[in-house]
Every structure is written in structure tokens, then in C-alpha cells.
Chain A
Amino acid sequence: MHREQFENALFRAGYLAILVFMLLPLAVVVVTSFAESGNLAFPPESYSLVHYRAFFEQTRWLSAFDNSLLVGVGTTIVATTLGVTAAFGHEIDDGRAGQVLAPLVLVPLLIPPIILGISMRVYFVRAGLEASYLSIVLAHTLWATPLVYFVMRSVFSRFDWQLLDAAKDLGAGPIRSFVYAVLPNVKHGIFVGALLAFIISLQEFVMALFLSSRSTETIPVVAWTQIRQSLDPMVSVVSTFLIVISLIAIVIATIATNLDWLSKQLS
């Protein structure tokens, strides 16, 4: 074996070991969800679907799923709209406002979420939005928008802006030129940004804890309150569902972003 091949093999083996080591807890979570007993122990003594049945009987978990989905979709729509238009605007007019914008949108990511959570709770109570879905959506948007913005900045930096000029030159107004010339070329980037926003919202816990009530609580909030009472396999069941949802999202993302490529390969 050549030295280079040996080094490559060694690197791959090391990389794989780290990956497995880090992903192992996920396997533990999935396995414990199938435990029969009420205690969270690994490995379980016996296996059953008893906790899955219990999950579908508990309305609190089911409504938390609905809440998380609702807040996630809301955050995705608002953050993607704001992030895409901000990055687009920055690209079109690189003036003084744009130079201030980039560091400014980063600020929410730098403030500890607990501070944001408390201050927003105070603020939303004043605004009469206490414990509403909207308050959680807005809080998550504060985090998700910068991420969408930076994804789109990078996407737009690779976009050939002459295409926008060409569309305008051929008679397309501001909206049609965006729809016909820009959108088809950046849609994958927008999709990735939107997915990122959804995942941020799905897993955010601290702000949701401060801003939700019993009727609007999201999955991480319910998981937290449950674990505080008792460490039972129900948490593993919920986690397993979250893992499956994330995997499905990734598969969808992969298919969606490569669909054009795929169709070209097949034709």
C-alpha cells in the first residue's frame, strides 16, 4: 500500500470512529424508546411498543407536536421572506444601509437566549401577545432570519446579476424579473435557508419556555417538564419521532435540491 493511500485510510477510519461515537447516543435514544419498563435504562430488559401507545394517548404530547409544527412553519415563512428579501436588497443596493445591516442582524444570535426570552416575555405581555403562537414565531424568527440571510448572501454572491439586467432589458418589471430570472436560479438556496429556519424553530427551547403557555408549548418545552418529573422512555419516543422527522426533512431536501440534476441524468 502506498503511503498516501495508507494515510487516507487512516484518516477515514478516524473520521468514521468520531462520527459513530457522536451518533451512538441517538441509537441509545431510539433503542430505549422501545423499552417495556417505566425506567430509562440502557440496554432495556425487554422490548415493547407500550410507550408508543402511551404517546398517542397523551394529548399533551400530540398538541405539542401540533404546536411545534405550527410555530416551525410560521417561523419558516416569516424568516425566509425577511432573510431572502434582505439579502436581495443588500445585493441590489450596496449602500450605507447594507453595511450596517450585516452586523446588525447578527446581534440576536449573540445575545444569550435566556435574556432574549425574559425581555421578550415582558415585551409581549405589554403588547398583549402573551403566550400566543405569534410571540414564539417572532422570537424564533429573530434567530432564524440571520441564518437565512447569510445563506442567501452566499447564494446571491454566486448568482450572475447580469441575468436580472437581461430580464429587465427584455421588458420584465421588478417582480417578473425576480420571478423569472432570479428565483429559478436560487430556489435551492432558498429551500436550504427555509429548512434551516424550520429546524432552528423545531429545536429551540429556552425562548419557547419563557413565551409559551400550556396551550402553546412546543416539544422541547414538554420534554423538559416531563424529564424534570421523571426520566421515562416517553422522552425517547418523542426524540425518536424528532430524529425521524429530521431525517425525512434531509431526504426531502436532498431530493428537492438535486431534482433538476436528477431529471437531466435520467433524460
Chain B
Amino acid sequence: MSEITLSGLEKRYGDTLAVEDVSVTIDDGELLCLLGPSGSGKSTTLRMLAGLETPTDGEIHIGDEDVTDRPAYERTTATVFQDWALFPHKTVLENVAFGLKMQGTGKDERRERAKEMLERVRMGEYADDDPMNLSGGQKQRVALARALAVNPDVLLLDEPLSNLDKRLSEDMQIELREIHEELEETFVHVTHDQDEAFTLADRIGIMADGSLVQVGEPNEVYENPKNRFIEAFLGDTNFVAGEVERTTAESVHVETELGREVVLPRTGDADDADALTEGESVALSLRPEVLSIEPADAATSDGESDRTQPVRTDGDTTNAVVGTVENVLYRGSTIRYSVAVEDTSVFVERTVADSGAFDAGDEIRISWDGADVLAFRDDGSRVDL
């Protein structure tokens, strides 16, 4: 069993609190991604798991054992480091065999096992090479083989893909996923790249300012973020400031800087204590994927009027505004339009394949379903509607 429990984990450097009260249970065989911007404490948390840092407070259990004060060399974890940390004075094979050598495995046996691990990561033919002559992707594979060779209970990955180019990184994500499924070992993977986290993770733990803000399955944290930080961090969005004008049993009406009242349906999740009060200021998150666009005067442009509209759960909660295209940004597969609406600006996206591109100066109509909009209070907390 290699279930990991972190309870109240804290790390201080002098007056700086690097990690604060991190508690989470990682299931046996799970792949957990710790996701957060740099300086959020995710790497420090991983290093405490590896035993390379000693926590200032809190406990770490791996399986049934308390390993909090156990040094790295007595733990059943193995790490793939950000810069791979291959021993430059050893051959690729010696690198992979190093952990087994430390465990006291005989020379022939460890060479054989190291060869096996190298084959597994398709680096068998490089066994006698100098690791410094390998490419980034190859070094990454060797580092992975070296960590897996000691047959760890837990594999820790400290942003191992961040130094690879995009294509290679994406290939490695798929390979890591396959290796994880094959080994059924517990993986903890640290990254600042949300795409990487969404691709790899069984669950994502989002860290900010040393705290673990939310842990959940990828679609759960994306669709149901706990606060404004997570909503902003997981992909691009438009935050629109507004003030609650009135609330009814079915909906909340918010007067926004878009110059128009936005109607949000109530889901009934809110306790009375949490409910929004009139006059309270809120920020609404309008993700580009929930926004539909069409020419402002649909009649003048043939074929645009029958464009698919967003799913409407309730006619009352469809919202629309009209704005002027200010900027057109080509981003490969998508085109991003920056649209001036009243005093603010909103960006919307459509794929290149969509017909009817807009130009700067065009008037367009942006519409969305109020049910797809998330609202946040001034302190960043999410509003239950």
C-alpha cells in the first residue's frame, strides 16, 4: 500500500512561509498533479514528500508509516528532477543502475535491470553513452528510467517536462500516462502547465501562495472552481465587474460594466446566509468558450443568422451585448477578437474553421447563457447561486 497522507504540512524559511497547512490524501495508484504558478509551494511540497526538505510542521505518511523525519535515502520514493540531474561522470546505464547499486544489488543483476528499464523508455541503444550528449527528451527518459529502476512505491515528478519543447512535452505526457497505467504506482506530478495537468491527472491539486486551494478531478476543478484565482489560472476568461441589482427566487440580476443587466439563474445550492444581497459587488467570469458571436445586424450577412446558439436551459437567462471589434489576434487554430463593449473590453474566440471572420471595426453581437457564468465576491470566493 502506498497511499500518501499529508496532514497540516508546513515549511518555513526564516520568515517566509513557503508551504502552509497542506493536507491531502493521495490514493494508492493515483496520479495527482500539483498545479500552481511558480512560487506557490508545489515543488517544496514535493521535496518534502521526497525527504529532501524537512517540514517545519505537519506529518507525512506513506502507506501506514510516518516518514516525516525520515531522510530521502531511507524513503521508498524516487524523483524525476526538473533538470533531470543525471550524473555527468557516469554512463547512461550507470546512471540507471545507481539506485540499485545503493541498495546493494549485485553488479550483473543491476546492469540487467537497468537495461530493462532503458528498453522500457526506448533508450536501450544509448546504454553506454555519456548522458551529457543526449537531447532533452532523451535525458528525460533516462531520468525516468533511473527513478523507476529502484521500484519506488511513489514516483515524484518535479516539472520534468517544462524544459522540453511543446510537441515533445505532449508526447511525453501521453507516455507518462501509459507508464502510470502500466505500473499502477502512485505518481505525484508537479507542473505549472494546466494543459499538462489536465492531460495527466486523475486529480489536480491547485496551489497558490503555499496553500492547497482545491483538490478535485480535472473537469470538476475547471467547471466548479472554488475561487477567482483558480478560475483565472485555469485558462483564459473575462472578468466583468458588476453590482447585484435585485434577486428573485429564480434568478440574480447584476448590473455590469457591459452596460447591460446580466441575468444568472439560481441553482438553489445557496444557503440563505450565502445568498447575494442587493448592492453587493461581484465579478462575473465569462469564459470565451461560452460566448457566441454573430454580426450585430444578422440580416445583412447571409448564413450567419442560423448559427448555432448556446444551449438555453431557460429563455430568461440568455444574455447578449453588442460591441465593436478592436483587435484581431491570430493564434494558430483559433482567432481571438478583442471587443469593446461600453467602457470595458471582452475577448471572444472562434476557430479558424468557422466561416465568416470579422475585421477590426465590425459590430458584433455576443451572447451567452447565464447558467454558464460564474460569479465571485470581492474577496475572491465563489458565489453559490
Hey, which bits of chain A sit against chain B, CB under 8 A?
A: 160, 162-163, 165-173, 176-177, 180-181, 184-185, 260
Contact = CB atoms under 8 A, between A and B. Distances in A.
Contact of B98 (A160, A162, A167, A260): A167
B146 A170 contact: yes
A73 B188 CA distance: 51
Contacts of B71: 168, 173
Interface in B237-275: none
A130 B257 CA distance: 89
B73 A162 contact: no
Contact of B102 (A160, A162, A170): A170
A266 to B, nearest CB: 15
B89 A171 contact: no
A168 B52 CA distance: 8
B89 A170 contact: no
B50 interface: yes
* Of listed B51, B85, B88, B99, residue having the most chain A CB within 10 A: B85
B73 A168 contact: yes
Contact of B85 (A163, A177, A180, A184): A163
A165 B102 contact: no
A169 B89 contact: no
Contacts of B87: 163, 166-167, 180-181, 184
B98 A180 contact: yes
Contacts of A180: 87, 98
A162 B89 CA distance: 14
A92 to B, nearest CB: 12
Contacts of B150: 170-171
Contact of A162 (B72, B74, B81, B103): B81
Interface string B127-157: 0000000000000000000110010000000
Nearest to B72: A168
B52 A160 contact: no
Contacts of B81: 162, 165-166
Nearest to A177: B73
Contacts of B44: none
Contacts of B50: 165, 169
Contacts, number: 66
Chain A to chain B: the 10 pairs with minimum beta-carbon distance, closest first = A170-B99, A171-B102, A162-B85, A166-B85, A168-B72, A184-B89, A169-B79, A172-B102, A168-B73, A171-B73
Interface string B67-81: 000011110011101
Q: State which size class the interface on B falls in.
A: 20 to 34
Given A180-B98, A184-B89, A162 B83 contact: yes
B83 A160 contact: yes
Nearest to B83: A162
Contacts of A166: 79, 81, 85-87
Contacts of B103: 171
Interface string B172-184: 0000000000000
A242 B50 CA distance: 53
A162 to B, nearest CB: 4
Contacts of B88: 163, 185
A93 B85 CA distance: 20
Given A170-B78, A171-B103, A172-B98, 10 more contacts: A162-B83, A163-B85, A163-B87, A163-B88, A169-B50, A169-B73, A173-B73, A180-B87, A184-B89, A185-B89
Contacts of A167: 87, 98, 102
A171 B85 contact: no
Nearest to A176: B102
A177 B101 CA distance: 12
A162 B52 CA distance: 10
Nearest to B47: A165
13 contacts: A165-B52, A167-B98, A168-B72, A169-B79, A169-B147, A170-B102, A171-B73, A171-B99, A172-B73, A172-B98, A176-B102, A180-B87, A181-B87
Contact of B78 (A169, A176, A181): A169
